[in-house]
Amino acid sequence: MSDYRRAYVPGGSFFFTVVTERRAPIFRAETARMFLGTALRDCRRNWPFRLDALVLLDEHCHAIWTLPEGDTRYSARWGFIKKEFTKAWLAVEGHEQACSSSRLKQRRRGVWQRRFWEHALRDENDYARHFDYVHYNPVKHGYVERVQDWPYSTFHRYVKQGVYDTDWGGGNFDTSVFDDLDTTAME
């Protein structure tokens, strides 16, 4: 039996990594990106949370959420998002990975990895470094050379708000600021 433990901090801010099954690149499809956006919005209507940062890559996403005071139910939220996305995706004959009979008995489909990775953000510095990590991720993975060139990110919202300069994360950006983050679990 697994000894996996979640960090539940009421009203906390959390960094998440959510990955598709077998890293299938389903988010290359515009319909998949649209369905994920719809599932996120529907979830926020049912269970409010602040979506602080998000980046969507071909086969995974990173997000930072802040939950309402006293609330710890991020697992229920991710479960809802994954379920609603999966229903919409499969309804339009979206691709899924093969499933075992035991997996089907558990009502699991071959769209998402079973679990997700979360990290409770401890303080402002931890929050800021993960916030930057989310937005720098498309460059890290080689999708683009400049953060501003990746369209599926909240980076553009924060440029408009003056949080980031348009050219942030390019050129001689010092990635050593991420060296002590546990990125093996994030990717």
Return d(Cα 106, Cα 33) in angstroms, integer.
26
For the stretch 15-42, what's the b/e string if a residue is b when 16 or more beta carbons lie within 10 angstroms of its beta carbon?
bbbbbbbeebebbeeeebbebbeebbee
Active site residues: 152
Q: Cβ distance 115 to 103 under 8 Å?
A: no
Distances (CA, A) of 132 to 127, 163, 181: 9, 11, 12
